[in-house]
Amino acid sequence: MLKAAQDMSSTAGAQLVTELRHIVGNHHVLTEDGATLPYRRGFRFGEGRALAVVMPGSLVEQWRVLQACVKAGVIVIMQAANTGLTGGSTPDGDTYDRDIVIVHSMRMRTIHLIGGGRQVVCLPGATLDQLEGMLAPIGREPHSVIGSSCIGASVFGGVSNNSGGALVRRGPAYTDMALFAQVSDRGELQLVNHLGIELGSDPEAILTQVEAGNFPDASINWNAGRGHDDDYATHVRDVNADTPARYNADLRRLHEGAGCAGKLGLFAVRLDTFEAEKNPVVFYIGTNKTDVLEDVRRHILSSFKELPIAGEYLHRDAFNIAEKYGKDTFVIIRMIGTRRLPALFAMKNAFDRLADRIGFLPRHFSDRFMQFMSHFFPRHLPARMRDYRDRFEHHLMLKVSASGAQEAREFLKSHFATHEGDFFECTPDEGSKAFLHRFAAAGAAVRYRNVHTDTTENIVALDVALRRNDQDWFEVLPKDIEDEIIVKLYYGHFLCHVMHQDYVVRKGYDCMALEHRMLPGLDKRGARYPAEHNFGHLYAAPDDVLAHYRQLDPCNCFNPGIGQATKRRNWIAESVG
């Protein structure tokens, strides 16, 4: 295997770093291992080396950075919030044939409203929380709201990975309209404007106008393409289809920036927004029988006049782990909201790096400290939710619009009059807490691992899209696999049949080998994976997806190795033996 040349004393590498510092300023080019580690290490998975981490502060700076990197022949990894779960925005080890430059884009957080806010143009560092806050005063919402698996997720991350999220009607993050840099098969960097906004032909002039939001009405083509997957609401209703509703290998949702997985240098995306729901109603459902929940899902999707807003599943074990190991996350969000969380977690990461350098503090000291402090917080979950935890193994949170509440209410009363289980209609506060608790479950496995390093090896996290007609949706593992797992966390977007499955693995067992033993069982069930976190370096992409990546990036200079493809220049096959 080839090893990337990472020697900072090399003339070419030093020259490139000097040029990058000239473009963005010394403070925004990081080269020391300690400083670059948060950008070289994934949220849950992945770590590798990099020549530099560069943080452009404008679109023109990002363009010039890409020009310099392409000219120098280095690999570029485009990175936004780095909240992905499969290592797709970080290097993967040191088996590259070129130096790597990570272009971290979170300084460019601008969002422009167009058409009175019915669409937005987002720049590389814009976050979902930021977009949600900008749209709320005008009664609009973005494609996705608070993430199901991470905090501070970026808009670009969602689009680049076709992330799905919890909102049933809107489908995976998608757009036909983007502004991006692409390297041709001749090695030439080109700026492609498919925003549907006339901006001229000079790259730096285009980027300057986009940065400023200089979009005269006459320049905007309102028929340029789709700003979301407008067919999904019909697609997800087909409960008899033998295929999943959404998954990352679905070629219908791969188009330029949408699903590009970092194989392009994105500068801007244009997306639809949606009218905000007023006074939604949340129903909390519990049962001990999986077929009861499946009957609920099938009836809702096939018969309800109006699709619900969201339908989130939580298993009792995930409920319990989240109650204990997600408590501080829950309480902090209730206290300060989500907007300040990325800064808070940045401070936490900085403290952890300092603690690692000091040496005498235990690993993950901040997690251990926060877990200790959470014991002093008061009970945070409503009594009715805790009662359902004691009574029922399977939990479903169903959020519907005010206009659809009566239909849902009547169905649930009728259904649970003759089926095992029960439901209650949440107060607004209970509904908010129920969905926040479901969100906290996504990070609970990480906290559990970090607190119990003496007994845990790591986490295997699977992101699974089940067939729309799969009635036996709950996983039953073979005993030999069960024996290697301490705890399983099952949660997901139930109406879309997308499940997140986190397994905390016992100390001493090989997590990768365990995952590979699990995947044939999913294949046998007709499931597809990953469902919405993309392939990263964890999953092997199918041939048709790899062909799509080759078409986007013929030189294999943007994010090589994604989908376990070759990391070598021009997609040259790696030698065997």
Q: What is the pLDDT along the chain (577 residues), one digit of tens a residue?
A: 434 444 444 788 999 999 999 999 999 999 999 899 889 988 777 889 999 999 999 999 999 999 999 999 999 999 988 877 788 899 998 889 999 999 999 999 999 999 999 999 999 999 888 898 899 999 999 988 754 445 568 899 999 998 877 889 988 899 999 999 999 999 999 999 999 999 999 999 999 999 999 999 999 999 999 999 999 999 999 999 999 999 999 999 999 999 999 999 999 999 999 999 999 999 999 999 999 999 999 999 999 999 999 999 999 999 999 999 999 989 988 887 766 666 676 677 677 767 767 766 777 888 898 899 999 999 999 999 999 999 999 999 999 999 999 999 999 999 999 999 999 999 999 999 999 999 899 889 989 999 999 999 999 989 999 999 999 999 999 999 999 999 999 999 999 999 999 999 999 999 989 999 999 999 999 999 999 889 988 889 999 999 999 999 999 999 999 999 999 999 988 754 4
- Cα–Cα distance between 10 and 19 in angstroms, integer? 14
User: Is 10 one of the annotated binding-site residues?
Assistant: no
What is the pLDDT at residue 342?
Answer: 65
User: Is 147 one of the annotated binding-site residues?
Assistant: yes
Order of strands, edge to edge, in the sheet holding 485-493? 422-425, 281-287, 394-400, 310-315, 485-493, 498-506, 456-465
CATH number at 278-452 = 3.30.70.610
User: Is 80 one of the annotated binding-site residues?
Assistant: yes
User: Is 266 one of the annotated binding-site residues?
Assistant: yes
What is the pLDDT at residue 129?
Answer: 85
- Cα–Cα distance between 231 and 224 in angstroms, integer? 17
User: Is 11 one of the annotated binding-site residues?
Assistant: no
Residues 132/66, Cβ–Cβ less than 8 Å: no
Q: Write the CA distances from 374 to 4, 68, 367, 371, 430, integer angstroms.
A: 44, 48, 10, 5, 21
Residues 246/171, Cβ–Cβ less than 8 Å: yes
Give me the architecture of the 111-275 domain, per CATH. 2-Layer Sandwich (3.30)
What phi-psi label fits residue 429: left (phi over 0), alpha (psi between -120 and 50 degrees) or beta?
alpha
**What is the 8-class DSSP label of residue 222?**
T
- Cα–Cα distance between 112 and 506 in angstroms, integer? 48
User: Residues near 75 by Cβ (< 8 Å), separated by ≥ 6?
Assistant: 96, 98, 99, 100, 101, 557, 558, 559, 560
Tokens (6 digits) for 151: 């905090």
User: Is 9 one of the annotated binding-site residues?
Assistant: no
Please count the CA atoms within 13 angstroms of the CA of 186 that sit on its side-chain side: 2
User: Is 412 one of the annotated binding-site residues?
Assistant: no
The fold of 1-105+547-571 is 3.30.43
Residues 49/98, Cβ–Cβ less than 8 Å: no
- Cα–Cα distance between 484 and 481 in angstroms, integer? 6
What is the pLDDT at residue 3?
Answer: 44
- What is the helix (H) or strand (E) element at residue 47, kind and residue range? none
What is the pLDDT at residue 146?
Answer: 57
Ordered DSSP codes for 392-439: -SEEEEEEE-GGGHHHHHHHHHHHHHHSS-EEEEPPHHHHHHHHHHHH
Note the Cα 56 to chain centre separation in Å. 23
Give the E-state strand segments of 51-176 in sequence order: 52-54, 75-79, 100-104, 111-114, 119-122, 140-141
User: Is 261 one of the annotated binding-site residues?
Assistant: yes
User: Is 57 one of the annotated binding-site residues?
Assistant: no
Cα angle vertex 183, ends 179, 185, to 5°?
140
Tokens (6 digits) for 328: 């501080």
Place of tokens 């659809």: 404
3-state secondary structure 249-268: CCHHHCECCECCCCCCEEEE
What are the phi and psi torsion angles at 377 (to 5°)?
-75, 150
- Cα–Cα distance between 328 and 308 in angstroms, integer? 29
User: Is 90 one of the annotated binding-site residues?
Assistant: no
What is the pLDDT at residue 344?
Answer: 72
What phi-psi label fits residue 246: left (phi over 0), alpha (psi between -120 and 50 degrees) or beta?
beta
Q: Do domains 111-275 and 278-452 have the same CATH topology?
A: no
Query: Hey, what amino acid is at 518?
Result: M
What is the pLDDT at residue 5?
Answer: 40
Question: Count H helices, E strands: the chain?
Answer: 18, 18
Query: Could you tell me the pTM of the whole model?
Result: 0.90
- Domain extents for the chain? 1-105+547-571, 111-275, 278-452
User: Is 88 one of the annotated binding-site residues?
Assistant: yes
- Give strand pairing partners of 197: 220
User: Is 35 one of the annotated binding-site residues?
Assistant: no
What are the phi and psi torsion angles at 12 (to 5°)?
-65, -45
- Give first-to-last CA distance, the chain, whole Å: 9
